[in-house]
Amino acid sequence: MKIIVVGSGGREHAIIKKLLENPDVETIYALPGNGGIAADAQCVPIGVKDIPAIAAFAQTHAIDFAVVASDDPLGLGAVDALNAVGIPCFGPDQKAAQIECSKVFSKNLMKKYNIPTASYAVFDNADDAIAYIHRVGAPIVVKADGLALGKGATVAMTVEQAEAAVHAAMVDRVFGDSGNRVVIEEYMTGPEVSVLAFCDGETLVPMVSSMDHKRALDGDAGPNTGGMGTIAPNPYYTPEIAAQCMETIFLPTVRAMQAEGRPFRGCLYFGLMLTPNGPKVIEYNCRFGDPETQVVLPLLESDLLTIMQACANTTLAQTPVKFSDKAACCVILASDGYPTQYASGFPITIPQNLDAQVYIAGAKREADTLLSAGGRVLGVSCTGATLREAIDRAYAAAAQVHFENAYYRRDIGRRALECEGEF
Ligand code: AMP
Ligand code: GLY
């Protein structure tokens, strides 16, 4: 089989490595991939937003299956375009991808179908938004409606911060058209859990839960990033809470999308907060999380390609999906200064026999050398019989990977260990 994977980060590298475990997979093309992914797939220099070129490539290369992994092409209709030329895909079509691409759409969906989430109001001009903020006060959360590289949400502890966030989105237009509308929502508290789920439009199968670490610095300080590390499973997510989420959030969401004529096929990502009033949705994503994928897929024991095909064929209910009961930890090595200013272009050295999976996120290859190229450079991922063991192994391996100005958090998984009663 010949497969294309659309995307270029650590998540895509983890997906590609997992797909390669299936002996029927002959070739994987990564569009565009990166210098590290090039060790496992053929990288093709087609950008993720160039939908006509993606569809044309797939057609001329007689591709058997496509995995659209990143949000931009999903929002732009890559799956619709690939399906139109007869190529089966893992990923939602453009109508279903709205669940991530428009916060206003997702909030209205949750309200209509009684899916628990923060209460909210929507504004299309800054004056009304600011008047509302003055009326309800802080803390309060301001979110740009559209895609914003994970940077569209501001948790404002003061009215001034909330006003500044509205100003940035709607007047300075730092997110472009994504800030035409803003959602202003109630501030919630509680541990966060990520749950990724396979969906075929009708059936939903949750994967093992995980926990992201979004802030740049130890102790959850510093600015929000794309994610500095992950662990799985998330110990806050007990079997009781999982059952409650299935009943009040997961199944109602799948049914709601069906009822709206937007059946969701692909990976539906639930960003949850376990509030004192029960689990609530922070956000939906229409794709695998990054770096959640780098801990979830190493724990998947069933064949990924078979499951992805079942999601495309509406046969997920008859397809086994089994996860190991081990734990996993992924530590992200970033360029120091990420997410603001950083230098890159430094040679990366990874020991040949490193006892870990290394997923490359931002690197280019020059001659035979891999050079850092970007903020998040790579993820070092390990499994273990316990969370403690997975974390220790990931840190031991991370210490053996080098590039100038490498930076990583030292406390990935610490809150999870606290939840388990360590410390
Ligand atoms: P989002 O871009 O919607 O995933 O939000 C980014 C982060 O902001 C989340 O992971 C939460 O930590 C935080 N956040 C978002 N919405 C809320 C909320 N309503 N209350 C408290 N924190 C929130
Ligand atoms: N790790 C959060 C995301 O993928 O959006």
Residues 6+ apart with CB under 8 A from 196: 206, 207, 210, 267, 268, 269, 270, 288, 289, 292, 293, 296
At residue 71 the predicted structure's pLDDT band, cuts being 50, 70 and 90, is very high
118 within some domain: no
Are 300 and 228 members of one domain? yes
In this structure, which residue's CA is closest to atom 5 in ligand 2? 289
- pTM (two decimals): 0.96
Q: Cα(270) to centroid of ligand 2, in Å?
A: 10
298 within some domain: yes
Are 219 and 281 members of one domain? yes
Q: To test ligand 1's pocket by mutation, which of 195, 269, 280, 282 has the most ligand atoms within 8 angstroms of CB?
A: 282
Are 313 and 333 members of one domain? no
Decide whether any atom of ligand 2 lies within 6 Å of the 285 Cβ: yes
Q: Cα(299) to centroid of ligand 1, in Å?
A: 27
C-beta neighbour count of 267 within 10 angstroms: 26
Residue 165 has pLDDT above 90, yes or no: yes
148 within some domain: yes
pLDDT of residue 149: 75
In this structure, which residue's CA is closest to atom 4 in ligand 2? 289
Query: What's the whole-number average pLDDT of the chain?
Result: 96
Are 165 and 48 members of one domain? no
Quote the distance between the C-alpha of residue 180 and its chain's center: 24
Bridge-based pairing state of the strands 182-186 and 120-123: antiparallel
Give the CATH number for residue 62.
Answer: 3.40.50.20
Are 176 and 281 members of one domain? no
Decide whether any atom of ligand 1 lies within 6 Å of the 170 Cβ: no
Decide whether any atom of ligand 2 lies within 6 Å of the 150 Cβ: yes
Decide whether any atom of ligand 1 lies within 6 Å of the 281 Cβ: no
pLDDT of residue 152: 84
Give the CATH number for residue 228.
Answer: 3.30.470.20
Q: The domain containing residue 175 runs over which residues?
A: 125-180
Q: To test ligand 2's pocket by mutation, which of 11, 211, 283, 290 has the most ligand atoms within 8 angstroms of CB?
A: 290
314 within some domain: yes
At residue 1 the predicted structure's pLDDT band, cuts being 50, 70 and 90, is very high
SS3 string, 194-241, reads EEEEEEECCCEEECCCEEECCEEEHHHEEEECCCCEEEECCCCCCHHH
Mean pLDDT score, 137-143: 95
186 within some domain: no
Instruction: Give which of 155, 152, 247, 246 is closest to 206, Cα–Cα.
Output: 246
| Distance in angstroms (rounded) separating the CA atoms of residues 139 and 157 | 4
The string of pLDDT tens digits covering residues 253-278 is 999 999 999 999 999 999 999 999 99
113 within some domain: no
| Distance in angstroms (rounded) separating the CA atoms of residues 267 and 83 | 17
User: Can you spell out the DSSP letters for 378-405?
Assistant: EEEEEEESSHHHHHHHHHHHHTT-B-TT
Mean pLDDT score, 375-390: 98
Q: How many domains does the chain have?
A: 4
Residue reference for tokens 């590039």: 403
Are 240 and 202 members of one domain? yes
Residue 66 has pLDDT above 80, yes or no: yes
Are 198 and 312 members of one domain? yes
Q: What SS3 state is found at 250?
A: helix
Contact 35, 365 (CB under 8 A): yes
Helix, strand, coil shares of the chain, percent, nearest 5, are: 35, 30, 40
pLDDT of residue 396: 98
Which ligand minimizes its atom distance to the CA of 183?
A: 1
